[in-house]
Structure 1
Amino acid sequence: MTRKYFGTDGVRGKVGNFPITPSFAMKLGWAAGTVLASSGTKGVIIGKDTRISGYMLESAIEAGLIAAGVNVSLIGPMPTPAVAYLASTFRADAGVVISASHNPYYDNGIKFFSNAGTKLTDAQEQEIEVLLDKAINEDGMACVESDKLGKVKRIEDAAGRYIEFCKGTFPNALSLSGLKIVVDSANGAAYHIAKKVYAELGAEVISINDQPDGININDRCGATDLKSLSIVVQAEEADFGIALDGDADRIMFVDHLGNKVDGDQILYILASSLKAKGKMDGGVVGTLMSNLGLELALREMDIPFVRANVGDRYVVEQLKKTGWKIGGENSGHILSLKHTTTGDGIVASLQVLKAIVESGQSLAELVSGMKMLPQVLINVRVENGNAAAMIEMDAVKQAVKDAEAEMGDSGRVLLRKSGTEPLIRVMVESTDPSGTQRHAEAIAEVIRSL
């Protein structure tokens, strides 16, 4: 799992109390490099997505790492999961990804992880924070002696190696020959990779949104906006469409009719395919936001299902706890620990394509066994109160209890406070569309009245 060490915030914005500037990025690189070097790290790989600020931040982080005595290998625009894989392949000690994932071009973030694709240790993170604070507030950044400075090289065949890795997760005995696929790379990090993977496995590929210019990443395209993909799939009479996000760790599909197939439905396809072949080992990990339809469909197949908090790191934690291999989020972040240590959109899509080829069924037919339940989400703004405390108030709890009692096992309620805004998110889903809307509005109104 990649660790978004300082979160995703705009270059125009701030990380904590510090604006993301070249100076900040350099000091972060130095702090991380100093800590990593102290534990024996000699080399770090840096990858990025296609947003325009990546060039600036790449140079700044590179300078900081070099000043700490760490060698740097640059691989250019590359999916986040590719950096995790290549860090191991090239025997680097750690990897850095500069990406804001599915966010607009004016955002960016910095992720650090080990060469095993796992987050840095808590002790390392604390050390980095101490040194970063010192570098910023006390001008405490010190450069190693000239003869100990790190060196920089560019790896030219990184894309080719990752393409071969992805292809290696698809059975040699199978082919995508005869399938017509539309691929939307979101003008992001997989613009030069995804289409080649599917084509080299035999598919006829129509590639869209693969001309990044630094500011069109995730712009009305990719996994966060399927409209253009749906239109092209239907116009070209393709078998289905595949959409990645900006750093290619998320995946979404549309079927031949242009209908969305989201992360919950992808999990259903993967689990039901393994179950049919008698190869389903354990259960599936979803999140609090996973559609109840997924849980009910898995229950019918006697496949265990548990929910983790929202966020891929919590899904990974639950997978490791249970020993299961499949998990993910409805947003399309799918984890298949048999193949990768982190969410990988291309690898996940190949597991779906494997199910399609082996079954001889269309994508629409494969998802037909799962009924998505109506889901209503209402955001209630809390202007002058503590959202977490308000959720625990007796009146709110009673409103939730009343809704759950009426819906029984055919529905559920979830209240969450936003992590970025003064909002309480009211989510209700059930088999009854009108009842779902009514219960959500009733709970939201109780919160507003308080």
Structure 2
Amino acid sequence: MFQNLQDKLDRAFKVLKGQGNITEINVAETMKEIRKALLDADVNYKTAKTFTDEVKQKALGQNVLTSISPGQLLTKIMNDELTDLMGGTVNDLDISQNPTVILIAGLNGAGKTTFSGKLANYLRDKKGKKPLLVAGDVYRPAAVDQLQVLGEQVSVPVYVNRESNDPIAIAKEGVAEAKRNGNNIVIIDTAGRLAIDEALMTEITAVKEATQPHEILFVVDAMTGQDAVNTAKTFNDRLDFTGVVLTKLDGDTRGGAALSIKSVVNKPIKFIGTGEKMEALDVFHPDRMASRILGMGDVVSLVERAQQQFDEKEAAELQKKIRKNKFDFNDFKSQIQQIKKMGNMKDLMGMIPGVGKAIKDVEIEDDAFKPIEAIIDSMTPFERENPDAIDTKRRTRIAKGSGTDVNEVNKLMKQFADMRKVMKQMSNPAMAAKMMRNMPKMPGKPF
């Protein structure tokens, strides 16, 4: 995510590396590189210029303390300004009405229908709501079928009227259906439309008038950059939407839309899509995104994703097994499956401070766990429960059954044994404290 922008900002900061203080000259040079990096990232020109002017003014107005470098000071200022640029604070959905009507709008191919399913899943699981999806796209072939499949996936009902070609009537019927069935959220999926198509723009305005939605979310493909921002402005002039959803952010290496949209449209980004899975939807936190753009990681989001996947009761049981040295390959496979649900592996690792830069040129496939799972699946139930019983003969058979070689099986067995040993030590508070004391000190300065 935003890899190209991160690389260019890194190079810009190198101008200040080794400098003893901040001067008009070295800040001007750095700002020139940062503005160039933002424009290359497809950030709106006016936004990029205003941003760098603000950063420069604040940098020159501060004294550099002896304990920090000019690079560190500029990073702090950049972090604050990027946070403000993207909205400053989290903007939650207003779901206080019963039912709350949420209208989904956007261009063709932006991912509205998928987002509708993800939003229903989020509101049901995280907010304890009872959502109803409404299939209001009467133009795209199979749009209704797609929404029904997504509804089944997330166990949310879908209102469908295949006899009607009137999206306004369908939307009104959907709201009435929700009231009848006690659904406290109505998510109306609409057809994709071009801003230049006057008939379709008039139609969605009529859907808005007919349903009086409490939230109108404009869905845009983050990878379209400046085009997304320009489209958002046109749609906002007609719909006055309440928030923006950026989809496909996991594939966006530039970041132009995320950085420009708030300043151009003056509407908050409320959600970001970070993958194809139904769980791959995050509330947008400007401060966390700023940290990630500057290569400082995002531990809070990483922990939140982990908490969503790991059950407390299961974790307590696992802790007991670890203490008794009973952690086995069934437990190991279960942990792998939970990690996979958290999202794209490289994206997850990029949330760890310092790791994002270290792995920027490393290819990390999402199916990296596949050979490990194949090896575990080739074990008998007895072997999975009793790793110590896996001798040379068994390893040869497991390698054959998993389509790997004995060296790979041996490597996994050694890694598993080492991991078991560390986990057992860490489960003992005294031993864990000793290990932490013996760890080498990590360098504290990023520049």
Q: TM-score range by the shorter chain?
A: under 0.3
- Could you state the TM-score of these two structures normalised by the residue count of structure 2? 0.26
Bigger CA radius of gyration = 2
* Greater helix proportion: 2
Bigger relative contact order (CA 8 A; separation at least 6):
2
Taking structure 1 as the reference length, the TM-score comes to: 0.26
